[in-house]
Amino acid sequence: MDSTNLFADYRRWQTFQRQDKLQREHAAALRKLADSGAMASRVTEAYRSMADKGAKENACYRTLFERKRDNGESLACEGWLFVRRVLAEGGTTRVRATLLESFTLEDGAIEPGSKPASKVTLEIFDEILVKRSMTMGCRIDRHDQPQDIRFVTFLDSVRGDLAKLMKQ
């Protein structure tokens, strides 16, 4: 086997390993969110805090989400979220943000700036968790692109150097 093919296979294997790690991390974060009993009002306050820090300190937060594929399967993706504002109107809470993707299975690891950031609108809502004996939980889905669902944004994973890429 020539070294070119060998290294190509190795990079592909690394991408699948990273995808597996993100799948497990996303599932664990969703379980932790459900176990905490966080409701939409509490999560909304966290996003308001992110918007405040974003305005003051150019803070961007690591986020994991699922992207539904044409075949019905969902795979975890990773990105950085710059929260611009939180709008609560008529019983609906929406988050206006900019998303800079940093990993998808199709693209592998994405260098910041190699792919343009996209403006997103997330919707925060309460849901009944049937698998958890009819308890209430919170869910964050992308409103403007229904394939992107179940966002989990980490308050403890912050970067300040991406803001210039988010404001283009």
For the stretch 57-108, pLDDT in tens is 999 999 999 999 989 899 999 999 999 999 988 778 999 999 999 999 999 9
**pTM for the whole structure:** 0.90
- The answer to whether the CB of 54 falls within 8 A of the CB of 84 is yes
pLDDT at 168: 56
Provide the domain count of the chain: 1
Query: What is the percent of the chain where pLDDT is above 70?
Result: 95
More confident: 33 or 135: 33
pLDDT band at 138 (very low <50, low <70, confident <90, very high): confident
pLDDT at 39: 87
Q: Which is nearest to 30 in space by CA: 127, 97, 107? A: 127
* Chain mean pLDDT for the chain: 91
Domain coverage including residue 76: 3-166
- In this prediction, residues 22-42 reach a mean pLDDT of 90
Between the alpha carbon of residue 163 and those of residues 42, 107, 125, the distances in Å are 26, 22, 27
- The answer to whether the CB of 24 falls within 8 A of the CB of 31 is no
Beta strand ranges found along the chain (DSSP E): 60-68, 74-89, 92-104, 108-109, 118-129, 135-142, 148-159
